[in-house]
Amino acid sequence: RIRIEITGDHPSIQRDAALIHGLRNLIQNAVDFASVEVLIEAKTDRREIRLRIADDGPGFPATILPRLGSPFLTTRPRSEDGRSYEGMGLGLFIAKTLLERSGAAVRFGNRQRGAQVTVTWPREVIEAKNDRAALGQNPHISE
């Protein structure tokens, strides 16, 4: 289950493929490791836009938490359904790099139960301006 909570206003931001890719990677990681739920929490105030992606899974291993967002060899634990993941840790590295290039600060951490990633932008760097207007809603495609 994915739960979305939004607090504050609803600013328009510039549609950017790199930003979408980075956020999609973080959300997919949360979905992969969640036991029951992923929380996507958006908060805005007059100075910043903050997005928190949290799951209720096992959390980030303490041994790699300081190195998350850097490319390194990782072996994800086998899940209950038999899936296992092996890789170079490049997905989080790429997501973090893309989001930081958009002006965001990215922090990885653990909650009491599960992992969380917090992405924070100053409003002035991410909010759509007249010369960088948002594209609006995606059109509905019927089958």
Closest CA to 3 of 35, 50, 37: 37
Three-state DSSP class for residue 29: helix
Helix (H, G, I), strand (E, B) or coil at 108: strand
Identify the CA nearest to 43 among candidates 69, 82, 9. 9
pTM given for the model: 0.78
pLDDT at 43 over 70: yes
In DSSP terms, 120 is beta-bridged to: 50, 105
pLDDT confidence of residue 15: 80
Phi/psi of residue 18, nearest 5 degrees: -65, -40
The amino acid sitting at 109 is: G
pLDDT, average across residues 66-91: 61
